[in-house]
């Protein structure tokens, strides 16, 4: 196997709660993560012996060296296993960048998974996840995928019943959000209301999409929306078009809406684009993972 092509899936947070801050600066969280069928395509190729890592992408502004998390993932395995052959990584990116959708983490997860197969390293999913957390808190989840409860700093993962099928609308407004700034703002004030994570889990167990939508919440909205009111405008457009729930994903600025009716999602997509609230607006689906 000299070449491999993989899909690196985006994620949304059905619920995101922050429980406290550790002395090392990391935050204790309780989140429900869900992969969706919006993805980057990752191609991994072997090159000659004693060659290093090369990385390129369709986005000229992305780093192509050790500042790219996908590059770091390849470097980690090459160094640990003494892999002498070079590796060429090509990222064809469609997941919006710096958007709260774990695009970079998903790229790193795909490289770990792909190199494990390509070089027959024999690592289990758990062993890949143990290495992934060294790269970023979302990487272990991006290896596991599906519907998952994430605790600790995001690395303690518990699989949950699959999310009911529905249409997902993704809209990323043209603003930049600093995760560090968002968490600093959150630390500076009391959290007025925590999301109903247990309510989401109950909805998943019962296969009740409306129960899930009613229980969704993201504590980071309280600090991100005042900085970027367009997030609230996009949420409102989705709800007015028929979304049964709409929320910011991660630290933002991307907003997602859950729809029972695909035509309603298309209407919301059209309205959001026409009002210039976001250019990157995608209609997609939940991605489920079979767990034996």
Active-site annotation, residues: 11, 138
Give the number of other CB atoms < 10 A from CB of residue 125. 12
98: left (phi over 0), alpha (psi -120 to 50) or beta: left
| Closest-CA residue to 85 (of 121, 128, 113) | 121
Element (H, E) at 109: helix 103-118
| Closest-CA residue to 91 (of 57, 55, 53, 141) | 57
Strand partners, 259: 167
């Amino acid at each position: 196997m000299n070449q491999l092509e993989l899909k690196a899936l985006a994620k949304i947070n059905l619920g995101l709660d922050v429980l406290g801050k550790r002395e090392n600066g990391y935050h204790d969280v309780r989140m429900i993560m869900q992969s969706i069928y919006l993805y980057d395509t990752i191609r991994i190729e072997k090159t000659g012996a004693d060659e290093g890592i090369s990385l390129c992408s369709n986005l000229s502004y992305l780093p192509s060296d050790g500042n790219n998390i996908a590059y770091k993932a390849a470097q980690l395995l090459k160094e640990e296993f003494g892999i002498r052959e070079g590796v060429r990584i090509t990222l064809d990116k469609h997941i919006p960048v710096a958007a709260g959708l774990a695009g970079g983490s998903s790229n790193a997860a795909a490289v770990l998974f792909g190199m494990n197969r390509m070089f027959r390293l024999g690592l289990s999913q758990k062993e890949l996840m143990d290495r992934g957390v060294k790269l970023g808190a979302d990487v272990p989840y991006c290896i596991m995928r599906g519907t998952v409860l994430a605790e600790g700093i995001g690395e303690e993962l518990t699989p949950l019943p699959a999310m009911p099928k529905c249409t997902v609308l993704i809209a990323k407004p043209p603003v930049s959000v600093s995760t560090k700034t968002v968490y600093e703002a959150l630390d500076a004030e009391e959290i007025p209301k925590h999301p109903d994570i247990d309510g989401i889990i109950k909805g998943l167990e019962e296969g009740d999409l409306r129960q899930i939508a009613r229980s969704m919440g993201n504590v980071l909205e309280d600090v991100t929306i005042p900085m970027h009111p367009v997030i609230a405008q996009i949420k409102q457009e989705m709800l007015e078009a028929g979304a049964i729930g709409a929320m910011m994903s991660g630290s933002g600025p991307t907003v997602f809406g859950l729809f029972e009716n695909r035509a309603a999602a298309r209407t919301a997509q059209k309205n959001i684009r026409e009002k210039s609230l976001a250019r990157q607006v995608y209609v997609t689906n939940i991605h489920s993972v079979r767990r034996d």
